[in-house]
Amino acid sequence: MLDSNKISKFLDIPREVSSQIPKITVTGFDEILIENFKGILEYEDFFARISTHIGNININGFNLKLSQMTEDDILVSGKIENIDFENKLS
């Protein structure tokens, strides 16, 4: 019997699509797209803390806005100064 990882690999499905692992795309210093997020823990115009299934993502900057949000994806825009990760799995 095949497990879901083997099926995903066989079908060439990206890992972030077949699991709950977040995919993070940073565009310059102006946008960060987080796919497979769970929720927003904190939000100010200078700080955002986003929860994922494997930990939290902290975003520091200026004029931060939650530009777009769906059930699974969130786009934070503004002047991003730094991003750090709190790994829940360690």
Domain map of the chain by residue range? 21-87
pLDDT at 1 over 80: no
Percent of residues, the chain, with pLDDT higher than 90: 72
Other C-beta atoms lying within 10 Å of the C-beta of residue 7: 11
Residue 19 pLDDT level (bands cut at 50, 70, 90): low
pTM of the model: 0.78
Structure tokens of 87? 């790994």
Tell me if residue 64 falls in helix, strand or coil: strand
pLDDT recorded at residue 88? 82
pLDDT tens per residue, range 22-58: 999 999 999 999 999 999 999 999 999 999 999 999 9
pLDDT recorded at residue 20? 79
CATH number for the domain whose boundaries are 21-87: 2.60.40.2000
